[in-house]
Amino acid sequence: MTLKGKVVIAQGGGPTAVINQSLVGVALESRKFSQVDRVYGAVKGVRGIIEEDFLDLSQETTHNLESVARTPASALLSTRDKPDEKYCEEIFHVLKAHDVRYFFYIGGNDSASTVHIVNENAKKSDYEFRAIHIPKTIDNDLLVNDHTPGYGSAAKFVSQAFTGVDLDNRALPGVYIGVVMGRDAGFLTAASSIAQKYYDDGPHLIYLPERPFSKEKFLREVKEVYDKWGRCVVAVSEGIKNEAGEPVAKELIQRAEYDAHGNILLSSSGALGENLVNYVKENLNIKRVRSDTFGYLQRSFMGCVSEVDQHEAREVGEKAAQFALWHNQDGSVTIHRTGDYSVDYQLTALEKVAKHTKSMPDHFINKGGNHITEAFRKYLRPLVGEERFFAHHLRAPQVEKILKNR
């Protein structure tokens, strides 16, 4: 059966460098089908649907849409609302009132849950309706997917940032601690290592949420690296957890803030980095110890976009439209790696992607739990693209000292 009506597209959660590729992909592909009356974009995600705040993307020029596709962050704006059953009923009520037959939501696992609940409302009401979840997250933690759009570009940024930090630290030695996004999965923090070329390149230590974090072990390992190289660069995930499974940052933030999903706002404070800096200074007597919390910089940095990430983000949008409009199906578009390197796009049941998160596989993390393996580097390299920047060191011979005995 061919459904005739409108399309609504929404973007949810944190922006990425390539989320607009998915928006434009599904919008342009949908405009090709005669059964589509209009293509609407919901401003500020699902909240825009509730408030009937729509843009008519049918009247947007293809030229401008293509320009928007190359622009980072969410062109339709976003929301952190986490819809419950009642909220989803309201979403469905508005969509039905506007004769919307196709709903596309670009986001993470909570967005997949929203799509699933809205779709169930349509089934209960015997309203013919197709809902598709389009993957997006820099955390790379969606189940079923080999990787997610947004991750490759964020990983490229983190990699290049740590390359620059390592060069700075080499010039003026000390201890540097960079805190990277990643609440439950360490994929983005692990990307800090992808540009390592020389045996003494940083980051020398990498700490991920998948392994319990001990401050005492951390101190010992920093000392070992510092004693060996005279410096130490550390990458730390904001979501590192103690032996009890509680976020370390939660212990350090006196007045913790929480988002609509009930998650502590880990990147809203530099407390984790500052605390680790003070701990190193107090116990190792090293004067030059610094930290940075990367925060929003990782998500939508315009000068650091992976071409592979752009292309795949565009294609998941196009495939979403094709699954719904050609094949009359619901689900979540998922990315599957085939060969070295290619991908395939499949439609997966929404409940298999919703709610839960994916962690770094054990074989991506070294035995000591403080760095990554070559298997992870092999996994990541195609995603950041071939334009990786590698730093180079001087190789000229040392001139013999004349006054060395004075």
Strand pairing category for 36-42 and 54-56: antiparallel
For residue 33, the tally of other CB atoms under 10 A from its CB is 17
Q: Can you tell me the distance from the alpha carbon of 17 to that of 8, in angstroms, rounded to the nearest whole number?
A: 22
Q: What does residue 311 show for φ and ψ, rounded to 5 degrees?
A: -65, -45
Interacting residues of 141 by C-beta distance below 8 A, sequence separation 6+:
108, 109, 148, 184, 185, 187, 357, 358, 359
Q: Please report which residue ranges of 70-208 form alpha helices under DSSP H.
A: 85-97, 109-124, 151-171, 187-190
DSSP structure class, residue 181:
-
On whether the CB atoms of residues 347 and 325 are closer than 8 A, the answer is no
Q: Which of 81, 110, 139, 330 is catalytic?
A: 139
Element (H, E) at 102: strand 100-107
Tokens representing 81 are 């609302």
Strand pairing category for 232-237 and 205-207: parallel
On whether the CB atoms of residues 139 and 183 are closer than 8 A, the answer is yes
Residue-level pLDDT at 260: 54
The residues facing 289 across adjacent strands are 175
Please enumerate, by residue number, every residue annotated as part of a binding site for Mg(2+).
109
Q: What is the largest CA-CA distance in the chain?
A: 92
Residue-level pLDDT at 266: 57
Beta strands in 264-401 (DSSP E): 289-293, 331-337, 343-348
Residue-level pLDDT at 254: 56
Provide the whole-model pTM: 0.93
Of residues 54, 50, 109, the one with CA closest to residue 77:
54
On whether the CB atoms of residues 274 and 291 are closer than 8 A, the answer is yes
Q: Can you tell me the distance from the alpha carbon of 52 to that of 66, in angstroms, rounded to the nearest whole number?
A: 25
Residue-level pLDDT at 339: 87
The whole-number mean pLDDT for each consecutive block of 10 residues of the chain, a chain of 406 residues, reads 92 96 98 97 97 98 98 96 93 97 96 94 95 97 98 96 96 97 96 92 97 96 98 97 90 59 58 93 94 93 93 98 96 95 96 92 97 96 79 92 78
Write the pLDDT tens digit of every residue in 162-219.
999 999 999 999 999 999 999 999 999 999 999 888 999 999 999 999 999 999 999 9
Residue-level pLDDT at 404: 75
Of residues 81, 84, 83, 94, the one with CA closest to residue 122:
94
Q: Rg of the chain's alpha carbons, rounded to an integer?
A: 23
Burial code of 210-224, b = ≥16 C-beta within 10 A, e = fewer?
bbebeeeebbebbbe
**Active site includes 139?**
yes
Residue-level pLDDT at 190: 98
Write the pLDDT tens digit of every residue in 207-237.
999 999 999 999 999 999 999 999 999 999 9
